[in-house]
Structure 1
Amino acid sequence: MQLPLEPPSPPKFALDEPPSAPPSPRADTPTLSLSVNYLPSKFSSGLLSPTPRKRKPRKENVDHLAMPKRGGGREAFKSGESRMPAEGDEDYDGVTGRWFGGKEGGHTRPRMHWNRFKWALLITNLCLSAYALTGLIFCLLTWFDVFEHADIIRVGNRTELIFSTAASALAAVTSIIGWAGILLNNRSFLALYTFALWLCFALLVTPGYITYKQRTFNLEGKLNAQWSRVLGAEGRLRIQNKLHCCGYYSPFVEATISQTCYARSVLPGCKEAYVNFEKHALTIWYTIAFALVPLQLVIMLTGLLCSNHVTYRFGKGMMPKAYRLSTESMAVIMDNYANQLAEQYGSELAADILARSKLTMNADSSHDSSPRESG
């Protein structure tokens, strides 16, 4: 035997309350919200929470302490924490005044801590800066002819020196971009930093490959052709002056006449000294270049894995476009909602509910926009 079901009773509304009455303390969480059901669950916990999180009040939000927290900060991935930040929230966009996220004019929020991804980026970028600046200094000293045999490198290994200088300069610029992204929590800088690391890797292995190939495969034959066809009289003279020799085999074979190099000079030929110098210089060159490859790979891998996690919130906390309600979709939802209310409670009560819902939404929108307009 089935018991008779009672007919549904209409919801109770305080009809004696005037429509222009100020919103209740929980007006920020309306019971007839039309957008919460269309938001991902991770975005709605802050809006549905009846009480705001206990935080130090900001100057611009002193009059609006009843507003729920919008999310963000270093604890954004805790259980029940909202992911949506409010404008001016801590860690919002990574730039809030000082380099390390502090507010200008005093310490007004709890001290922020770096996560392990940011520390990893800091250590690897420090290594990148160290070897980039060291290589750039040595390349510049070679160009300025500071070392004893630097002029031989400028004459005989000009291509390798150009690639090494370009690699060290690009690595130094990349490390500066990395420091800007790390200190400002700027993911745009870090994305450019991660891409530039691949260019640094390409320029790093290029001089290493060139010097290894030249040293390993017929170095003596390549130096013979270089002395005869590439260096010219000026280049041969500069090598003769640095190695204190005359001619290639003897003063009578492809020699450039100078005050110390002439037909009856007692100086030996330059071939043996030049070949030995090139063997030693090229071996050191490609050894250093290839030794930096594992470190560069670690730096690149760290940039790929950690550049989007310098803060615990991914992105800027903006609602994805696919989840935003447009005016047209809102009108369709309101029509469907009105039809359901009319079928259950009648047209008069449905119109009254819709009118009150619009009043509540207008009060919420004016309440949310007042802090921005005042600021």
Structure 2
Amino acid sequence: MTSSRSLNYIPSKFSRPPSLTMPRRRSSVVPVPFPKSGGGREAFRPSEDRMPGEGDEDYDGVDVDVQRLRRLWPFSRGVKEREKIPERLLGWRWNKFKWVLLCTTSMVMLYSIASLVFCLLTWFNVLEHADIVRVGNRRELAVSTLAASMGILTSLVGWAGLLLNNRSFLAAYNLLLWLTFATLLAPGYLTYKQRTFNLEGKINAQWSQTLDLTSRLRIQNRLGCCGYYNAFVEATVSNTCYARSVLPACKGKFLDFEKMVLGRWYTAAFALVPPHMAAMFAGLLCSNHVTYRYGKGMMPKAYRLNMHTMAIVIDEYAK
């Protein structure tokens, strides 16, 4: 019976011999022992240790050279002051990826808070002519408030993932950045579309069909006008607006006000796009490198087991 040479053929470049009965080839090259490094996919296997070993690099600030940090501490001027610095302060060391995330998350928090404050001042009628915006641009104001709230929520999740070194929070932070980006573009798109394409026709339709008598009266009182074309056309009678009123018509003033407000609105919205994209880019690149094992092993050093602690535990158990 003949056997095929192509059956179970293994090229010679593989380390396994073609047959199990043949002895393995012995290499004259002695393998250099290489210490196992953490990180990568191996850190997430079910049986893998989550704590860094003695040979691992210290990204978490666990193993601190206290004397060296005392010399480099920027807030101490003399030797006596350096000795008074507590070691827990010297252990606060962050890598560059964490600092980048800190800057971008703080940036998102700052312009989100500023936007929300401006929207709330408009809702509560604190700003000048805020009542006109509440009447004429209610949809855009609501979308802007939602975008600012989303930005604050996103930055809070980012802060939680940054300070806790939590992978889940950082993943949610990156996802929320994209959702916030969509809500950020929405008010800019709405205001740009309304101002660019037939704004006068939209204002005419809004005054005659959408606004009720109370809304027209609020605009008339804020702009100091009476009626749309004149005091006899779609006017709401008040103490200052009547048949013989000398106040100008509201169309010109309302149209100029809308052009000014909408122009500033979409300019501010689109101006936030570059910094927000920078925050998204930094989040995608830096979230994997916040800690040595990607957020795993957050147990404080004081509660970690070592040989000395295990000896004490065994002695106590033996007693």
Aligned residue number for residue 313 of structure 1: 293
Partners of 1:130 and 1:206 in 2: how far apart? 20
Aligned residue number for residue 172 of structure 2: 192
For structure 1, the 5+ residue unaligned runs are 1-39, 44-68, 92-105, 319-363
TM superposition shift of 1:308? 2.2
User: Could you report, residue by residue, the CA deviation over 1:87-126 in whole angstroms, capped at 9, with x for unpaired residues?
Assistant: xx949xxxxxxxxxxxxxx747962410010000000011
Distance of aligned partners of 1:73 and 1:161 in 2 relative to their CA distance in 1, 3 Å threshold:
farther
1:148 equivalenced with 2:133 (yes/no): no
TM superposition shift of 1:151? 0.3
Distance of aligned partners of 1:368 and 1:164 in 2 relative to their CA distance in 1, 3 Å threshold:
farther
Amino acid at match of 2:259: K
Counterpart contact for 1:248–1:270, Cα < 8 Å = yes
Partners of 2:239 and 2:54 in 1: how far apart? 73
Q: 2:99 aligns with which of 116, 119, 143?
A: 119
Distance of aligned partners of 1:108 and 1:232 in 2 relative to their CA distance in 1, 3 Å threshold:
closer
TM superposition shift of 1:313? 2.1
Aligned residue number for residue 223 of structure 1: 203
Aligned residue number for residue 264 of structure 1: 244
User: Could you report, residue by residue, the CA deviation over 1:309-366 in whole angstroms, capped at 9, with x for unpaired residues?
Assistant: 1112235269xxxxxxxxxxxxxxxxxxxxxxxxxxxxxxxxxxxxxxxxxxxxx9xx
User: Looking at CA atoms only, which structure, 1 or 2, has the larger radius of gyration?
Assistant: 1
1:203 equivalenced with 2:183 (yes/no): yes
TM superposition shift of 1:240? 0.3
Moved more, 265-274 or 300-309: 300-309
Q: 2:142 aligns with which of 149, 162, 169?
A: 162
Amino acid at match of 2:91: R
Partners of 1:232 and 1:368 in 2: how far apart? 82
Partners of 2:157 and 2:265 in 1: how far apart? 27
Partners of 1:73 and 1:41 in 2: how far apart? 9
Amino acid at match of 2:143: F
Counterpart contact for 1:181–1:187, Cα < 8 Å = yes
Aligned residue number for residue 283 of structure 2: 303
Aligned residue number for residue 350 of structure 1: none
Amino acid at match of 1:182: L
User: Could you report, residue by residue, the CA deviation over 1:278-301 in whole angstroms, capped at 9, with x for unpaired residues?
Assistant: 000000000000010111111011
Q: With structure 2 as the length reference, what TM-score do the two structures score? A: 0.68
Partners of 2:53 and 2:120 in 1: how far apart? 44
Counterpart contact for 2:37–2:56, Cα < 8 Å = no
User: What secondary structure, in the 3-state scheme, does the structure 1 residue paired with 2:288 have?
Assistant: coil
User: Could you report, residue by residue, the CA deviation over 1:140-190 in whole angstroms, capped at 9, with x for unpaired residues?
Assistant: 000000011000000000000000001001111211221122122222221
Counterpart contact for 1:121–1:302, Cα < 8 Å = yes
Distance of aligned partners of 1:75 and 1:215 in 2 relative to their CA distance in 1, 3 Å threshold:
farther
Counterpart contact for 1:74–1:112, Cα < 8 Å = no
Aligned residue number for residue 257 of structure 2: 277
TM superposition shift of 1:194? 1.2
Aligned residue number for residue 212 of structure 2: 232
Amino acid at match of 2:270: F
For structure 2, the 5+ residue unaligned runs are 1-34, 39-48, 64-85, 299-306
Distance of aligned partners of 1:42 and 1:164 in 2 relative to their CA distance in 1, 3 Å threshold:
same
TM superposition shift of 1:76? 3.0
Aligned residue number for residue 192 of structure 2: 212
1:128 equivalenced with 2:128 (yes/no): no
Partners of 1:164 and 1:75 in 2: how far apart? 51
Counterpart contact for 1:72–1:90, Cα < 8 Å = no
Distance of aligned partners of 1:109 and 1:246 in 2 relative to their CA distance in 1, 3 Å threshold:
closer
Distance of aligned partners of 1:123 and 1:267 in 2 relative to their CA distance in 1, 3 Å threshold:
same
User: Could you report, residue by residue, the CA deviation over 1:38-70 in whole angstroms, capped at 9, with x for unpaired residues?
Assistant: xx9546xxxxxxxxxxxxxxxxxxxxxxxxx98
Aligned residue number for residue 302 of structure 2: none
Percent of matched pairs sharing the same residue:
58
Distance of aligned partners of 1:307 and 1:74 in 2 relative to their CA distance in 1, 3 Å threshold:
farther
Aligned pairs, number: 241
Q: 1:177 aligns with which of 128, 140, 157?
A: 157
Counterpart contact for 1:76–1:313, Cα < 8 Å = no
The structure whose RCO (Cα within 8 Å, separation 6+) is larger is: 2
